[in-house]
Amino acid sequence: MTIFLVLGLFAGLYLLWLLFNLAAYALPVAAGISLAFWMRDHDYGYSAVILGGFAASIAELAIGQLLFAVIRSPIVRLAIALLFAIPAGVAGYHAVQGVIRLAIGPGMMLSTLSWIGAVTIAATAWTRLASFDGSEPGQVTAAPPAKATQ
């Protein structure tokens, strides 16, 4: 009986981790699910639907990270980051509200914790998007060679 309690605890914690990880990637996940439902409605096979949804999610995330890393205009970078952070914040708000509502009733505390979760998950989505710069994190780049004076 004790083993089931321990396994249940780990399963619950894993599902919470998965919920908040998916909330941080709300835009790519939503795009993949939308494409999968569209493909299913147009009579594609289940394997094609699953692969198409995964491919759309991965492509959107990769394109967003690539554009954020390549483009140097602060306004365009802000727009790309907000495009990923706002849906993540909305998903984070509802994820936290759904989980916390299991423990406490509706009220000011539930709303406050939901807003804290929304801001935290939106900031996580922003930093995950901005952390991709195309190089290794600990990699030191060599300085350009010095010009020889004659």
Q: Determine the pLDDT at residue 140.
A: 46
Q: Determine the pLDDT at residue 49.
A: 95
Q: Contact, 121 vs 20, CB < 8 A?
A: yes
Tell me the three-class secondary structure of 57-120, residue by residue.
HHHHHHHHHHHHHHCCCHHHHHHHHHHHHHHHHHHHHHHHHHHHCCCCCCCHHHHHHHHHHHHH
What parts of the chain have a pLDDT lower than 70?
Answer: 132-150
Q: Contact, 85 vs 13, CB < 8 A?
A: no
User: What is the domain partition of the chain in residue ranges?
Assistant: 18-130
Here the tokens at position 146 are: 């010095």
* pTM attached to this predicted model: 0.74
- Block residue for tokens 């491919």: 55
Half-sphere exposure at residue 130, Cβ-oriented, CA atoms within 13 angstroms = 16
